[in-house]
Amino acid sequence: MDSDRHVRRDGSRYGEGIRNPRARQRALLIAAGPEEPDLSELRELLRTARVAVAGELTQRRPRPDPDRYLGRGKLSELTEAIRESGANLIACDDELLPRQERNLEAETGVPVIDRTAIILDIFADHAGSAEGKLQVELAQLEYNLARMRGLWTHLERLGAGRMDGGIGTRGPGETQIETDRRLARDRISALRRELEHTRSSRAVMRQERERAQLPTVALAGYTNAGKSTLLNALTGAEAGVRDRLFHTLDPTTRSFEISGRRYLLTDTVGFIRKLPHQLVEAFGATLEETLRADLIVHVVDASAPHAEMEEMIPTVEEVLAGIGAAERPQLLALNKVDLLDAERRRELEFRHPRATRVSAAKGEGLDDLRAAIEAQFLRTLRPVDVLVPYREGGRLAELHEVAGELDREDTPDGARVRARVPAGVAARFERFAVDGGASDGAAPE
């Protein structure tokens, strides 16, 4: 689409994002709901988007007004708060209906942006890979498709004076809307085809990993919980790390070893409360890495306030359930414990006795986390006792690769190996099994 034609009422170009290069954005935060809204997460989103916060206004009501989001009385307060704070932007903590957005802008005279648009803007800024950029563009187009009508209200009025009904009554604004929607739908179809191709390529790489039968671990958790730092600490990688939400969008996979056995560790996109459904769908390929992992390490920022932390854990669990990964084996890793005092550490130990407490930044507790990961996999391994002829050097190398520590005895007929391996690997070595060796439960200590 020709982005030069897509101009918002605030003068910024459509698809440009919430940052206006000509002026510092100062947002007034709004929220409505049956309970007192917590706007701390919206503040952090805006900080990541480099937008200043000028103030906030909340309203307790059973549900947001379907036409204006806030009640009529609150709209007067909102207009006054904008004037007093000098805000030039309204940021809403919920996803607005197109008519709510239009009516709020008409009532207040300043641009309005909702939570979904803020997150989409951050994703667009952080996407690095070609696939990530395609995913973000798809999510943005699907979100904006229903909002295109509001961009052309000034053109629609040109046709208002024509006679009602019949040919020729449609104004140029209406024609432009239809053109934009057609172009947007065409682009959405093209993006979906491109993403399907990238998913096929990812599937080929995944099949190669599965063929190697290496155990796979996925790091999941709230955005900014320290997953990338943990990946670096466990694998020695140098994945980008910054103190901002959604810094990691593209999955990063690295290998590391525990007791001689090699594992694959993947860092995935972070979750957040009320994660827009457009992003969950667009980043399906990324989230699929979590779904297919043998083990999910749920990383939590233990330095967050207690109430906030206890809200983050079920938020991640809900997203995992939403993508079908709730039944995967999981470990809870409480990260950033170096920032806690002794009392807070004791409280966490009491509340989450089965969790591993770590500091990815300081290296504290990493051995405990490795041991917990290994213990999870040892429960799923199958003991084998095989005699592999020396001419089968490839098979021997494979055993060393997937078994980690093993008991090997060289004999005139070949290498006698006792080990614990994944069930899929064990099936491939059945023809080398020593009588009774794979069924007696014996395994090297």
- The pLDDT value recorded for residue 345 is 94
- 70 and 181 part of one domain: no
Q: What is the CATH number of the domain that holds 370?
A: 3.40.50.300
Range of the domain at 84: 3-126
- Provide the pLDDT for residue 100: 94
Q: What is the 3-state secondary structure (H, E, C) of the chain?
A: CCHHHCECCCCCECCCCCCCCCCCCEEEEEEEECCCCCCHHHHHHHHHCCCEEEEEEEEECCCCECCCECCHHHHHHHHHHHHHHCCCEEEECCCCCHHHHHHHHHHHCCCEEEHHHHHHHHHHHHCCCHHHHHHHHHHHHHHHHCCHHHHHHHHHHHHCCCCCCCCCCCCHHHHHHHHHHHHHHHHHHHHHHHHHHHHHHHHHHHHHHHHHCCCEEEEEEECCCCHHHHHHHHHCCCCCCCCCCCCCCCCEEEEEEECCEEEEEEECCCECCCCCHHHHHHCHHHHHHHHCCCEEEEEEECCCCHHHHHHHHHHHHHHHHHCCCCCCCEEEEEECHHHCCHHHHHHHHHHCCCCEECECCCCECHHHHHHHHHHHHHCCCEEEEEEECCCCHHHHHHHHHHHCCCEEEEECCEEEEEEEECHHHHHHCHHHECCCCCCCCCCCC
Q: How high is the pLDDT of residue 404? A: 66
Does 204 lie in the same domain as 284?
A: no
pLDDT at 445 over 60: no
Domain check: are 373 and 394 in the same one? Answer: no
In a shared domain, residues 223 and 284? yes
pLDDT band of residue 246 (cuts 50, 70, 90) is low
Q: Is residue 187 part of a domain?
A: yes
276 & 352 share domain: yes
Same domain, 258 and 351: yes
- Does 221 share its domain with 346? yes
CATH number of the domain where residue 36 is located: 3.40.50.11060
Per-residue model confidence as pLDDT tens digits over 182-192? 888 888 889 88
| pLDDT (average), residues 206-227 | 75
- Per-residue pLDDT at 351: 93
Model confidence, pTM: 0.67
Last residue of a domain, one of 378, 409, 440: 378
**Per-residue pLDDT tens over the stretch 349-365:** 999 999 999 999 999 99
Give the number of domains in the chain. Answer: 4
In a domain? residue 345: yes
Residue 390 located in a structural domain: yes
Return the pLDDT at 105.
Answer: 93
**Is residue 444 domain-resident?**
no
Task: Give the tokens for residue 228.
Answer: 């990338």
**Is the same domain home to 405 and 334?**
no
Distances (CA, A) of 217 to 35, 51, 170, 221, 254: 38, 36, 57, 13, 10
- Assess whether 21 and 80 both reside in one domain: yes
Query: Cα separations (Å) of 21 from 44, 59, 112?
Result: 20, 32, 17
Side by side, the strands of the sheet bearing 89-92 are 52-60, 26-33, 89-92, 112-114
| pLDDT surpasses 70 at 307 | yes
At which of 338, 357, 378 does a domain end? Answer: 378
Q: Is residue 60 very low, low, confident or very high in pLDDT (cuts 50, 70, 90)? A: very high
Say which range, 60-64, 243-247, 322-326, 362-366, has the weakest mean pLDDT.
243-247
Does 22 reside within a domain? Answer: yes
Q: Which band of pLDDT confidence, cut at 50, 70 and 90, is reported for residue 230? A: very high
198-212, 226-240, 296-310: least confidently modelled range: 198-212
- Whether residues 295 and 198 share a domain: the answer is no
Q: Are residues 120 and 135 in the same domain?
A: no
Beta bridge partners of 114: 92
User: Are 220 and 367 contained in the same domain?
Assistant: yes
